[in-house]
Amino acid sequence: MRFTDDVDELREIARQLRIDILTTLAEAGSGHTGGSLSAIDIITVLYFSKMNHSPSYDKTVDRDRFVLSKGHGAPALYVALAHCGYFDRKELKTLRKINSILSGHPYAPSTPGVEVSTGSLGQGLSIANGMALAGKMDNRRGYVYCLIGDGEMQEGQVWEAAMSSAHYKLDNVIAFTDNNGLQIDGRVKDIMGIEPVHEKWEAFGWDTVTIDGHDIKAILDAIERAKTISGKPSMICARTVKGKGVSFMEGKVKYHGVAPSPEELEKAIAELAPA
């Protein structure tokens, strides 16, 4: 693997990872398609540009850490880890199968590169806080990145953790909201509205910026901005599209937890083919 800040190169990586997400889920026959596709641009920028990480030193104390709080988006994390060399890409074909190293949600004991097991919604930021606070106490370098789903933000623990991050001045926490507007039961605003997202995080004491979560340059710039902030955590509110990159999946709640059929996979890959 190599790191790059080139926007076109990162877009190309994200395109390839989208195909791997779809292929992996189709092979499994189950899993979460929409939220994996909405998050992959953020994960691409983190793993192929901004995070200090490598399979060769995944246990070193000064590395950056990533917590996928919305654990159902695991396929997006797995394809990034595979492309980075944490495990052989052939393992992607075993997603959700018996004895696979790739569970339906991230499971740290079995998957190289996964920092912590997640999937019980609302817990990731609390874990990230613990990592960040320990880092400060031990005078370690390194950021803790945390990706939170917008439906997940309906969990009260998210806001307890938000208060803690600000209270302890955890400026080594950089979080994202994958704000795609949909959750398993429908539109987030119909289930339990969370807006105004930007203003809420700001009110909780965070440095907050809102971006297009599919604009690679905007993601790069937002992370660089967050690294300049001192004395408070940073929240990057990313406006995203469920199923981004596949026209018939975009903005469709039905693809929250449904894998593509063979016919849908063929159609989706054709759409994602390079121009």
Model confidence pLDDT, tens digit, residues 32-91: 999 999 999 999 999 999 999 999 987 788 899 999 999 999 999 999 999 999 999 999
In a domain, 2, yes or no: no
What are φ and ψ of residue 237, in 5° steps? -80, 105
In a domain, 200, yes or no: yes
In the chain, how many domains are there?
1
Q: Decide: 157 and 126 in contact? Cβ < 8 Å.
A: yes
In a domain, 1, yes or no: no
In a domain, 26, yes or no: yes
Question: Would you place residue 2 in the very low, low, confident or very high pLDDT band (cuts 50, 70, 90)?
Answer: confident
Whether pLDDT at 15 is above 70:
yes
Model confidence pLDDT, tens digit, residues 214-260: 999 999 999 999 999 999 999 999 999 999 999 999 999 999 999 99
In a domain, 155, yes or no: yes
- pLDDT at residue 274, as a whole number: 87
What pairs with residue 209 in β-bridges?
Answer: 236
In a domain, 40, yes or no: yes
In a domain, 146, yes or no: yes
Number of continuous H segments (helices) and E segments (strands) in the chain = 9, 7
Q: What is the CATH number of the domain that holds 31?
A: 3.40.50.970
Whether pLDDT at 9 is above 90:
yes
Model confidence pLDDT, tens digit, residues 113-123: 999 999 999 99
Name the residue range of residue 54's domain.
7-272
